[in-house]
A and B are shown apart, each in its own frame.
Chain A
Amino acid sequence: MLLSSLVAQASPLSEQQVKQLQGLVSQLNPIQQAWVSGYLAASAQLAGQSVAVAPSAVAAPAATLTVLYGSQTGNAKHVAEDLGKAASGKGFTVKVQDLAEYKAANLKNERFLVIVTSTYGEGEPPENAISFYNFLFSKKAPQLPELRYAVLGLGDTSYEFFCKTAQDFDQRLAELGGKAIIARADLDVDYGTAAANWQQQLITTLEPEFAQAPASTADVISWPGVSQTAAAQSSYSKQQPFSAELYTNQKITGRDSSKDVRHIEISLAGSGLRYQPGDALGVYFSNDPQLVKELLLLTGIAANTPVLLGTERLTISDALTEQLELTQSYPAFVDKYAKASGSEVLQALVADKTALRSYLSERQIIDIVREHPALISAQQLVDALRKQQPRLYSIASSQAEVEDEVHLTVGVVRYQAYGKPHLGGASGFLAERLAEGGSIKVFVETNNNFRLPENDDTPVIMIGPGTGIAPFRAFLQERDARAASGKNWLFFGNPHFTQDFLYQVELQNYLKQGLLTRLDVAFSRDTAEKVYVQHKLLKHGAEVWQWLEQGAHLYICGDGARMAKDVHQALLTIVQQQGGKDEKAAQQYLDQLRIAKRYQKDVY
């Protein structure tokens, strides 16, 4: 509704208020208007909460449902928040909290506990769940005979240790005496419907318990660490992404680089979307029309064949292009496609989990179909594929500098395999198929576990090789804009100095201007012996230790499979050598840093 057409009768405002509002708004530009709308929405929500929380505080013995999440990419967090909303809608008193924020000492007082968690890498807990996980598996963990709990795992079946952390939590809570409210569910990438069902089942099961408790109007209680910012200020979200304009797509590796990395600038103008350094941008994309064409050719399906996707009716071509996952392969596809196509080879493969994993690790969906083309029906194909999941990119800009833009640093997935060129889904879309000026659906994914220190005087050490540099560009822009006096030390690495020094000129300028106190680089392929960021850390171990002792915050972004582990190992060595600690004490030192939020990771 436009304000000009706003009349008192149609709104809860008085005529006088409408006039005042119109007067104010006429002085605002669209960005200011968006900000004001977000501001008002946020204050309304906060006001509502304070009203809601107050009565629950007096109703002392009310049963509380504690929902904790261990989240790497924000999915578990969203599911936990949804669950919180649904439960409070039923009148439950609910507390939703990041596992990193949760005081483990409270565990023994919990009666109803839900943990929603993803699993990271080779079966490890996500970064924000590590402390709690370690506590739970330590001797300090209390017996929990009173506890009733439920665990929901989110994962990806293409990984060997699918939902391992959820399984660990489930098993351990049972060991400690807890009783499951409902059975744990381990959900794949397209968890949407299954998560809703599990949530429904949980609430239904708990309803009698909570009905006995005094009636409460409690809403979800806001706890520290649960950010409202992004959600509160904009109506756009993962479910309702904003159609943004691509401003810039600039390759930032040299012409002889083996890597294709793009600096992407996207306009958020008019969206009201706000983000903080450390947040990620979720990106939806269209699949490559050539890929869709080939897939339809191989399966003998006409492009305009109608199919049913959930409740939506559309052509298969549209479904494949806009809605389904066509690049990342996963076990469920092989299973369903094997059945639909009748391929015995694939069926045999499905039975052998290890073989299936290694088969999938090198193949996109199209490779599987190319190897086993079969005439199947359009609906069979659609049913075999899962819904496209948005890709998350760490944001490479600060709004203090770029205002209503958002910048990304995107490594284009491009390789030759089985005699054909391959391109990543989102990165291919951003780099090749989306023209500048074209539109792309995006949303902001808050990440409170990757934040600059609140105190601007605090020194920071940033370790971000490859595209891991992205959030640190945001950090530096932010520290620059805030005129933060804290020292900044960046470690960067990539294969070649001349080709792969991402944002080289910007970083050189930051060094010259003094914003960057130190910049250490490792170009692994320029020397006979490969040098990586961890080697540079070790080389300057004494200074790293000095910075840490001065209170520096430590950040790692980038490859989690190897780099983050190697860097962690290097840090352990530094703490041992420089701090004169044994291995255990060094580990504890780093654990303490993590608990104090001074050691944060954004790894993938």
Chain B
Amino acid sequence: MSQYPVNPEFVAPGKLSDNERLKAESDHLRGTITSDLQNEITGGFTGDNFMLIRFHGMYQQDDRDIRAERAAQKLEPLHNVMLRARMPGGIITPTQWLAIDKFAAEHTLYGSIRLTTRQTFQFHGVLKPNIKPIHQLLNSIGIDSIATAGDVNRNVLCTSNPVESELHQQAYQWAIKISEHLLPKTRAYAEIWLDGEKVETTETEPVLGDTYLPRKFKTTVVIPPHNDVDVHANDLNFVAIAEHGKLIGFNVLVGGGLAMTFGDTSTYPRRAEELGFISLEHVLKVAEHVVTVQRDYGDRVNRKNAKTKYTIDRIGVDNFRSEVEKRVGVAFEPVRPYAFTSRGDRFGWVEGIDGKHHLTLFIENGRVLDFPGKPLKTGLAEIAKIHQGDLRMTANQNLIIAGVPLEQKAQIEQLARQYGLLDDNHSEQRKNSMACVSFPTCPLAMAEAERYLPELVTKVEGLLSKNGVADDHIVLRVTGCPNGCGRAMLAEVGLVGRAPGKYNVYLGGNKVGTRIPKLFLDNVAEAEILAQLDQLIGRWATERQAGEDFGDFVIRSGVVAEVKVSKTDFHA
């Protein structure tokens, strides 16, 4: 199948999973989606199409809050789709913003725009009759949702760094190029959603392959020392190396990923590791062949072990590297020195070296909606109406009003304050806390995340205050299931949903996101979590060394053991 020689020893043996059949039979991701769109009897998608629409950037979901109620009403679940846009680097123009703002208000069940950890936006609650119109609207403003889900390379992240504006601009262009280079080549998206003409061609997928990748694949471009994109949550990372403010190449890191399955110790969150340095002319080829190596050697038998991180642990990073090198025809150079020193967003105004001003807004949970007394969505629309620069979604679910000329600063700030987008009362703790979407829309959710986070943060603020460390913060993340969207497995305190009201608590990640935390409490409720945290924060407040972060303290003091090598340490 592969255009490259494949070493059979590195291929996982066994019967291919059903997803492999599904992809093979999908006619390059078309399936029978078109006929499902015409089916007026159900709001959902049937058979394989349920999975295939993911490759087009949508998940079938339903309002889980009313699932039982509707079953009693003899009505099917309130099926709808979540649509995730492809926005490499997260930059969106004010014109585009106003268009999606209007669509969200008029044609989605929740009326919101959700900024996500994949540095893009999601619509939640799009009913079937509105699906084609939204794709067509997005297309008309130059946005698509191709391959933002499914077994493909998903939206490519890029560090939001408005200060070093030139370097950011170069890195951002690479994010776009990589995204486009790794896109599926099938015309299915255009045919199905944009009524594109059906062209008789023998389609092939030279990069992704006709059965696409074994599992989802995530890529970032990161500009150290800022690790806002969380490289260790991603399969493939390009770490920007600059000389005199000019980009000269990238260190390549592969095999990060946070998802796991409860009760299956063959699954674990894992850090990315280094392949080496490459210069700019090899970037696209390296990206392509990290993908093709994972395509050819990733486990297509057991989806739980299908991600790049398991491929590397199975065949060894040296074999992985040499396969990539063979295919690219270039050897990796030794990694250039780099370091990460921060991860959170820099809130408030900063001035870029280009003299433009940039305002980073804290958007709690990334949920852009008009809340009572806080009409965030209207406020952003008002800003978008006058803003001359662009808007940048961050991997931390926040938003940057970027490229504001000095003379407009005051007006933008006034609007931001008027609509509750700028609030000086948000604590550092709140601004460094994060949650995935979870209930009521996410079908995978086991416990609340987004809806629970605000009150949990308030309680943790209380604990910090009670223990006399109110000005400090702990990177706190809540995710509704172990699949990783909330990146709890790179937090100092990570909560992962087990059941309604019950979480696993993981401790020991660090501030910059280079350490995987370890299980501390198994399947516990809030009271237990808070009681334990109270005690630990108390100890941290009194016993910590100068400037010692909470995550480092719990490791040093032996509360949890450090996870150095996930495969051996995480479940130990």
Give the interface of A toward B (CB within 8 A). 250-255, 263, 497-498, 501-508, 511, 519-521, 523, 526-527
A489 to chain B, nearest CB (A): 13
Decide if A498 touches B78 in the complex (CB within 8 Å).
yes
Decide if B74 touches A252 in the complex (CB within 8 Å).
yes
Decide if B73 touches A254 in the complex (CB within 8 Å).
yes
- Given A255-B69, A526-B129, A497–B74 Cβ distance below 8 Å? no
- Given A254-B70, A498-B127, A526-B129, A504–B75 Cβ distance below 8 Å? yes
User: In this assembly, does B572 line the interface, its C-beta being within 8 Å of a C-beta of chain A?
Assistant: no
Query: Of the candidates B41, B42, B75, B129, which one forms a contact with A254 in the assembled complex, judged by CB atoms under 8 Å apart?
Result: B75
Chain B residues closer than 8 Å to A526, beta-carbon distance: 129
Chain A residues closer than 8 Å to B41, beta-carbon distance: 504, 507-508, 511, 519, 521
13 A-B Cβ contacts within 8 A? A251-B73, A252-B73, A255-B66, A498-B43, A501-B76, A503-B74, A507-B41, A508-B41, A508-B42, A508-B76, A511-B41, A521-B41, A527-B129
User: In this assembly, does B72 line the interface, its C-beta being within 8 Å of a C-beta of chain A?
Assistant: yes
Q: How many residues of B contact A (CB 8 A)?
A: 16
A536: nearest residue on chain B (CB-CB)?
Answer: B40
Chain A residues closer than 8 Å to B129, beta-carbon distance: 526-527
Chain B residues closer than 8 Å to A498, beta-carbon distance: 43, 75, 78, 127
Per-residue contact bits, chain B 67-93, to A (CB 8 Å; 1 contact, 0 not): 001111111101000000000000000
B66: nearest residue on chain A (CB-CB)?
Answer: A255
Chain B residues closer than 8 Å to A503, beta-carbon distance: 74
**What is the bound-complex CA distance between A506 and B127, given in angstroms?**
21
Decide if B75 touches A501 in the complex (CB within 8 Å).
yes
Interface centre among A250, A504, A508, A526 (most CB of B within 10 A): A504
Chain A residues closer than 8 Å to B74, beta-carbon distance: 250, 252, 263, 502-506
Per-residue contact bits, chain B 2-38, to A (CB 8 Å; 1 contact, 0 not): 0000000000000000000000000000000000000
B128: nearest residue on chain A (CB-CB)?
Answer: A497
Interface centre among B40, B73, B76, B127 (most CB of A within 10 A): B73
Report whether over half of chain B's contact residues are helix, strand or loop; otherwise say mixed: loop
Decide if A497 touches B43 in the complex (CB within 8 Å).
yes
A357 to chain B, nearest CB (A): 37
Chain B residues closer than 8 Å to A521, beta-carbon distance: 40-41
**What is the bound-complex CA distance between A254 and B73, given in angstroms?**
7
A252-B73, A505-B75 given; name 12 further pairs at CB < 8 Å. A254-B73, A497-B127, A498-B75, A501-B76, A502-B74, A503-B74, A504-B75, A507-B41, A508-B42, A508-B76, A521-B41, A523-B40
Query: Of the candidates B40, B73, B127, which one forms a contact with A250 in the assembled complex, judged by CB atoms under 8 Å apart?
Result: B73
**What is the bound-complex CA distance between A526 and B133, given in angstroms?**
14
A520: nearest residue on chain B (CB-CB)?
Answer: B40
Chain A residues closer than 8 Å to B71, beta-carbon distance: 505
**What is the bound-complex CA distance between A505 and B77, given in angstroms?**
9
Query: Of the candidates B40, B66, B76, which one forms a contact with A505 in the assembled complex, judged by CB atoms under 8 Å apart?
Result: B76
Interface centre among B40, B43, B72, B129 (most CB of A within 10 A): B40
Chain A residues closer than 8 Å to B75, beta-carbon distance: 252, 254, 498, 501, 504-505
B36 to chain A, nearest CB (A): 14
Chain A residues closer than 8 Å to B70, beta-carbon distance: 254
Chain A residues closer than 8 Å to B127, beta-carbon distance: 497-498
**What is the bound-complex CA distance between A357 and B509, given in angstroms?**
77
A511: nearest residue on chain B (CB-CB)?
Answer: B41
B71 to chain A, nearest CB (A): 8
**What is the bound-complex CA distance between A181 and B48, given in angstroms?**
74
Chain A residues closer than 8 Å to B69, beta-carbon distance: 255
**What is the bound-complex CA distance between A507 and B40, given in angstroms?**
12
**What is the bound-complex CA distance between A498 and B71, given in angstroms?**
13
Chain B residues closer than 8 Å to A519, beta-carbon distance: 41
Chain B residues closer than 8 Å to A502, beta-carbon distance: 74
